[in-house]
């Protein structure tokens, strides 16, 4: 039986969530990430902003120049991850073979699901409807016999598209597409192809395998197969998330140690809430700093035991920060957690330390945040000092 693979890709995910939750932003160019002062980079741009040429990974200073009337918003990763979990639950209701690539895209192997839910196109249609009904967001899906073609297909009719690439039409569909549509083609490979006059996938497919091997070594034979739409990689549901991180770029270079530690405390709570939501533990904490000259420094510490506790993450990041000079100011600060592992069985407690009460309290706080939002309850240090009493969240 021929494989039936879907590639599902949410449309302008972060920006779409902001427009969903804030009706006044609908129809406006929304840019998530970076600042109006031109700091940081764009994480996601709404389709209204993309008409001005704004795209992800673009420096914010360029986005401001291209789209001066854009609405720049800081990312709310906890909210985005909660929506991502909803979406992946929908994916897994149709097949256990789901390989997440990021919070907003995944491969699904529905070969064995067709007797239960209908053919692959029917399943893709049902997923699109269910995502829209449950999240009020849209997803574009490519349907094909392999991962390469499914991923290419999902990008051909965005937003809210459904593209089918059947085996008998592979050559015709790929022929006139830019060679850059092949996923994973780096800048240097594209430049080498361009210098040889190779602009389309069809032109690339016409080259002998030996020529591509002479140009690119072992990658040449892989490129030869990809240009013909050949891809035998299985959908891997065991693909594990390797890290999780949060960072911010300041509007002005920050020299106040207390403010830097407040940010680290906020990130510690945000990231560990996500760990607990996904039943993960982290063993390595990494601090990231960028100075006004754009020099980036990182420092890491590996814990004796993996954790999902905000206090342990914050105290580790705090110690790492104390070892770095910040006299010239900080442009960007962030925390990364890595060496992630499943939390089944929980953490190993010290023989001298019983944290049952702490864990029970954390579970109760997580329930409040899940129901009322991340700002519903905060450490007292994170409450804005100027907030009116009626505007303040509860404090831990």
> What CA dihedral angle connects 39, 44, 45 and 50, to 10 degrees?
110
Q: For the packed helices 218-226 and 209-216, what is the interaxial angle rounded to 10 degrees? A: 130
pLDDT at 391: 32
- For 179-196, the pLDDT digits (tens) are 999 988 888 899 999 999
Count each helix (H run) and each strand (E run) in the chain, helices first.
Answer: 15, 15
pLDDT at 394: 35
> What CA dihedral angle connects 354, 357, 358 and 361, to 10 degrees?
170
Cβ–Cβ < 8 Å for 107, 150: yes
pLDDT at 250: 84
pLDDT at 328: 84
Here the tokens at position 39 are: 């700091």
- From the candidates 105, 254, 270, 312, which is the catalytic residue? 105
For the entire predicted model, the pTM comes to 0.71
pLDDT at 344: 67
All domains of the chain, ordered by start, with CATH? 13-77 (3.40.1170.60), 170-226 (1.10.150.20), 243-395 (3.30.1490.100)
Handedness of CA 132, 177, 184, 187 (dihedral sign): negative
Is 213 in the active site? no
- For 276-293, the pLDDT digits (tens) are 877 889 999 999 999 888
pLDDT at 341: 86
Q: In which residue ranges of the chain is pLDDT below 50?
A: 346-354, 356-357, 368-369, 371-377, 383-396
């Amino acid at each position: 039986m021929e494989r039936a693979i879907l590639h599902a890709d949410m449309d302008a995910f972060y920006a779409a969530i902001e427009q969903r939750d804030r009706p006044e932003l609908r129809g406006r160019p929304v840019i998530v990430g970076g600042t109006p002062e031109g700091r940081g980079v764009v994480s996601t741009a709404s389709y209204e902003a993309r008409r001005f040429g704004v795209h992800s990974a673009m420096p914010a200073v360029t986005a401001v120049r291209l789209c001066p009337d854009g609405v720049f918003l800081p990312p709310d990763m906890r909210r985005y991850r909660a929506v991502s979990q909803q979406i992946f639950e929908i994916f897994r209701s149709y097949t256990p073979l789901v390989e997440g690539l990021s919070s907003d895209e995944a491969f699904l192997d529905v070969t064995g699901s067709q007797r239960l839910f209908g053919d692959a196109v029917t399943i893709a249609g049902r997923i699109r409807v269910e995502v829209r009904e449950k999240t009020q967001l849209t997803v574009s899906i490519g349907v094909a016999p392999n991962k390469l073609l499914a991923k290419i297909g999902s990008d051909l009719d965005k937003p809210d598209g459904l593209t089918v690439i059947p085996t008998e039409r592979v050559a015709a569909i790929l022929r006139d597409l830019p060679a850059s549509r092949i996923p994973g083609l780096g800048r240097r490979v594209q430049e080498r192809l361009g210098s040889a006059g190779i602009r389309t996938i069809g032109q690339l497919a016409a080259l002998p395998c030996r020529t591509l091997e002479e140009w690119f070594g072992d990658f040449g034979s892989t490129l030869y197969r990809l240009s013909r739409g050949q891809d035998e990689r299985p959908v891997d549901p065991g693909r594990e998330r390797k890290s999780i991180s949060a960072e911010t770029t300041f509007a002005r270079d920050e020299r106040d140690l207390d403010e830097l530690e407040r940010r680290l405390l906020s990130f510690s709570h945000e990231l560990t809430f996500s760990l607990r939501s996904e039943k993960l533990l982290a063993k390595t904490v990494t601090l990231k700093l960028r100075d006004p000259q754009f020099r980036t420094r990182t420092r890491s510490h590996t814990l004796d035991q993996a954790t999902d506790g905000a206090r342990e993450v914050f105290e580790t990041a705090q110690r790492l920060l104390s070892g770095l000079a910040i006299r010239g100011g900080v442009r960007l600060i962030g925390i990364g957690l890595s060496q992630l592992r499943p939390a089944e069985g929980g953490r190993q407690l010290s023989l001298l330390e019983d944290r049952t009460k702490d864990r029970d309290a954390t579970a109760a706080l997580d329930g409040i945040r899940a129901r009322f939002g991340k700002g519903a309850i905060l450490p007292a240090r994170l409450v804005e000092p100027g907030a009116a009493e009626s505007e303040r969240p509860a404090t831990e």
